[in-house]
Structure 1
């Protein structure tokens, strides 16, 4: 079993490098079984329950990291650009990330970094960019480490990238590889770990290939409660333990569902998980609601459409008001028509994004 210490280099790097630049893209992901709650007693960003997600394809962050050796190695040195412009308010989060990953990347203080990052989706669209952003950053730092230590295996490269991404944003560890990723110890899933995400190892029915995700942008404003605060509220939550058990049970049930392509059973679990996530928010103390009236309108309209047409379209939610509409590729034409006819009116400025299952981070 992999331990945290396995990611600390035990020997000096074999190569020296003065400067260079790497660029990676990493996608967002949408959890089918949700991660909500952390085990702080076990270290940074350890999930209280396992989760499983679809890696997306189009909604991604593209990040380049230029690096150059510097003389003073006592402190951190980096510039941060967002879409080519300095972005001071993002710097504390990057600083915290560097501090967390420093024990695993001893070269970090040797270089000055210029980090230039952009998203393929509109900024403040209400889509969390922390997962894709931290995943892209982790891939760049791993590329630098591989230059310093070319003997590194590909398996170790990707595993450590997921491990590092997790320290920046928990769900970022599910954005390294695709297309179905499990994060958290789950007895029936080989190689699963609390420390990093792993590609789902079971059989997957062809109906899940190119699965579609249309994201309806219901509310693009800042969430009134951050995910970090929401996770913390699970500590004394009256229903927390039962919720964590439920996540394990739901992943166990998904294993045969993925194999057989039973979409009716898939829909029940995915929608139940989305509603459970928000039920946890509504029953924490203090309690809060991230759904908006239009979120509920969309859910009811999807249920009505599915009942009338038998088309296997369903919804899931993140910790926010936006709705992810999930459906198999063969229903794409009908579902997109339904979205345009009946759901777009509930979106802020009529905005929605079309996406589908993708395959993780890519070097550019």
Structure 2
């Protein structure tokens, strides 16, 4: 057990009923992590933009109980979801050493997303980080003594044990995760907020418009995809490359070189999907409209010189990244040329959160 995250509650703390709420955003990785070790430890460093309008709001109601074990009921958008409870209970089992009150309380989780469920936005990141923030707040209400910075770090640590990338959603701006030799403060255990002062102003203005190419469930889950990196013939080289790319990206973020940023971020996205295609068994999460949208984007960039780039998560949807200075022309292009590739014409307009 990580001693720095042990509970700060006194042994004679008293239980009481109450409720807490938290809101936590989704995030989009620029340098991807793909593959993990035991206990949600990443195989390489990653860094992500935290988003502004794509978030999860969670209200956690709790009351003391007599019987042992975990007692959780989950409601999504007001509708009871029996199938959601096992995932939360698994999460609680992983973190009970750090929050001893979990088995002593009954919980009712009311959660909602600002974006459509199963739309391909990382709801596990925003959802698990929101729950982690709620749990740390309960600990404080019961007599915990953590500072604000310590609470955020503990929430990030706990969120990671629910969903790896959730540890990056606790903070605004750019958030790094994964220990490396070139970033003081980096850790495998929690996200590290990259200093805003090290980021050129242009990168703080970026928009992220998400083309909802496919709104259904993915054919291969991220959990399965991560596991397929075990024994993957190109895994070790990929892990090295990701760390090298992160080091390069940090210099780019400071310099303000938008073209170098776009080139590296697009390479990272395509490498992620290349690793999927070379897994055993191989799988493809991109759809024909994903590829068509990328080709149209490249054509637009060649013809206009506008700074429009993309990244992809582990799915079919496309995150369009562009600075505010080019937003007007790009958003006309999205509406007139890229919307056609979206399922039901749906896309989400978002931006980075600094």
Superposed displacement of residue 151, structure 1: 2.2
Kept in 2: contact 1:66–1:114 (CA 8 A) = yes
- In the TM superposition, 1:124-273 aligns within 5 A as 124-201=118-195, 203-273=198-268
Query: What is the CA–CA distance in structure 1 between the aligned matches of 2:108 and 2:233, rounded to whole Å?
Result: 45
**What is the TM-score with the length of structure 2 in the denominator?**
0.97
Aligned residues: 353
Q: Identify the residue that residue 331 of structure 1 maps to in structure 2.
A: 326
2:22 corresponds, among 21, 24, 34, to 24
User: 1:150-185, CA deviations, whole angstroms, 9 ceiling, x for partnerless residues?
Assistant: 421112101110000000100000000011000001
> The residue matched to 1:324 in structure 2 has which SS?
strand
* Structure 1 partner of 2:279: 284
**In the alignment, is the contact (CA less than 8 A) between 2:53 and 2:351 conserved in 1?**
yes
- What are the superposed Cα offsets for residues 289-314 of structure 1, whole Å, 9 maximum, x if unpaired? 00001101111111111111111110
Q: Greater CA deviation, 284-293 or 120-129?
A: 120-129
Query: Is it true that 1:312 corresponds to 2:284 in the alignment?
Result: no
Query: Residue 164 of structure 1: SS of its match in structure 2?
Result: helix
- Indicate the SS of the match to 1:64: strand
Give the aligned partner of residue 116 of structure 1.
Answer: 110
CA distance in 2, matches of 1:162, 1:226: 23
Secondary structure, aligned partner of 1:91: helix
> Is structure 2 residue 66 aligned with structure 1 residue 71?
yes
Matched position secondary structure for 2:36 = coil
> 1:48: which partner in 2?
43
Question: Equivalent residue of 2:157, what SS?
Answer: helix
Query: 5+ unaligned residues in a row in structure 2: which ranges?
Result: none
Residue 12 of structure 1 corresponds to 10
Greater relative contact order (Cα < 8 A, sep 6+): 1
Runs of 4+ more than 4 Å apart: none
In structure 1, runs of 5+ residues without a counterpart are: 360-364
SS in 2 for 1:189: coil
Shift of 1:218: 0.2
